[in-house]
Amino acid sequence: MTEVGEMTADAAVENPGAASSRGALLEVRGLRVWFDTPRGQVRAVDGVDLRVEAGRTLGIVGESGSGKSVLSRAVMKILAPSARVLPGSEILLDGVDLATVSPKRNKHLWGVDLAMVFQDPMTSLTPVLTIGQQLTETLRFHLGLDRRAAKTEAIRLLTQVGIPEPATRFGRYPHHLSGGMRQRVTIALAIACSPKLLIADEPTTALDVTVQQQILDLLGDLQATTDMGMILITHDLGVVAGRTDSIAVMYAGKVVETGPTRQLFSHMRHPYTRALMDAIPRLGDPSHTRLPSIPGRPPTVIDPPAGCSFAPRCPSAQARCLVDTPRLEAADDSPQHSAACFYPLGTPAGDTAREANASAGVTAAGTRIDSRDVI
């Protein structure tokens, strides 16, 4: 039986993941989003650079709390009132800096230029309005359709996203539909005005495996018929392996590794990326096999200390990692593939660091490790 980890790697190799010659649809430069709390400043997103091209898909992965959703909400400009986008942050959509766009103009950007599929369709749909009312309201506001034309287009959209008996479902309320059907409705809402950029934030959360596959296939089919750029946010590397052109791995509010999907899966450079991959269950393992896990817990992002944020959990951590913060730097053999690590995997420095820690049984951060767990 094929292992899940092996399937993931194979899927990534089949994905071309080559850089496009097109211009950037979305460019995020030096984005920092902080929250002021009684305990201090929460640096939810702390200096992130991203790029999405038209017709391409960027996957953003990382554990819960890594900053993925805050990043997406910053792009959409739907952050909580307690959030602050710090000066110097740039979010450029087709060359327009969204950070400087007025709230009035935002209403005309949402749906037309950028749209979002949220994690929980029950909370993103209005419970007191029918599915048809929510769809037609969007179509009439942005496209100027009359009531009859908006209903016809809404039913077409429901058909496009695979809703059975769309004319009947048009008059139903969200609670009448299953979780998978509600998620399809949110996708119909998101694509109603053919946005340039679609952000899918954990679009398959709480859905069964069969429905997850259907939703992801639907998003892929929709993108294939347009030149829409897409950001797919998830904590599962397996989801993005065969469905993205490039990947950004986030940890503690920062991007720690990024590159074309094929290159990143073939030659992972950051220990955190490797740890995420190792944590994927493998179908070929015997029953009751202990699942690999990342030791410790994600760091606090409230006034974080100096040094690499992953150092307390990293099997490669050395003394330098505790005092200096690594920058995102490109690999010598691949300028598109970057990692923020002093001791990258697959390099002499990285191999030496891991072997020394395995031999000592403890890292410079004081984390005990088992030599069998060090690859």
Tell me the domain boundaries of the chain. 1-113+195-285+295-307, 129-190
Q: Measured between alpha carbons, how far is 166 from 154 in angstroms, rounded to an integer?
A: 9
Q: Measured between alpha carbons, how far is 232 from 91 in angstroms, rounded to an integer?
A: 17
Nearest Cα neighbor of 223 from 247, 190, 248 is 190
What is the pTM (predicted TM-score) of this model? 0.86
Nearest Cα neighbor of 189 from 242, 254, 136 is 136
- Rounded to the nearest angstrom, the gap between the alpha carbon of residue 41 and the centroid of all alpha carbons in its chain is 23
Q: Measured between alpha carbons, how far is 352 from 104 in angstroms, rounded to an integer?
A: 56
Query: What percent of the chain is helix, strand and coil (3-state, nearest 5)?
Result: 35, 20, 40
Could you tell me the fold of the domain covering 1-113+195-285+295-307? Rossmann fold (3.40.50)
Nearest Cα neighbor of 91 from 30, 14, 3, 11 is 30
What residue has token string 């995102």?
Answer: 328
93 sits in which H/E element:
strand 90-93
User: Can you spell out the DSSP letters for 67-86?
Assistant: SHHHHHHHHHT---TTEEE-
Q: What angle do CA 265, 5, 330 make, to 5 degrees?
A: 15
Nearest Cα neighbor of 189 from 128, 252, 234, 125 is 125
Beta bridge partners of 231: 58, 199
Record the tokens describing residue 241, joined without a space: 């392996």
- Alpha-carbon Rg of the chain, whole angstroms? 22
Q: Measured between alpha carbons, how far is 190 from 167 in angstroms, rounded to an integer?
A: 19
Q: Are 324 and 340 in contact (CB under 8 A)?
A: no
Which amino acid is it at 357? N
The region that residue 106 occupies, defined by phi over 0 for left and psi between -120 and 50 for alpha, beta otherwise, is alpha
DSSP state, residue 280: S
Q: List the chain pLDDT tens, one digit each, 375 residues.
A: 333 343 343 443 344 333 334 578 999 999 999 998 888 889 999 999 999 999 999 999 998 889 999 999 999 988 988 899 999 999 999 888 887 777 777 777 888 889 998 877 777 899 999 999 999 999 999 889 999 999 999 999 999 888 999 999 999 999 999 888 898 899 899 888 888 999 999 887 767 777 778 888 888 888 888 889 999 998 878 788 888 999 999 999 999 999 999 999 999 999 999 999 888 888 888 888 888 888 888 888 887 888 999 999 999 999 999 999 999 999 887 889 999 999 999 999 999 999 999 999 999 888 887 655 554
Please give the C-alpha separations between residue 329 and each of 148, 265, 336, 350, in angstroms, as whole numbers: 55, 17, 10, 15
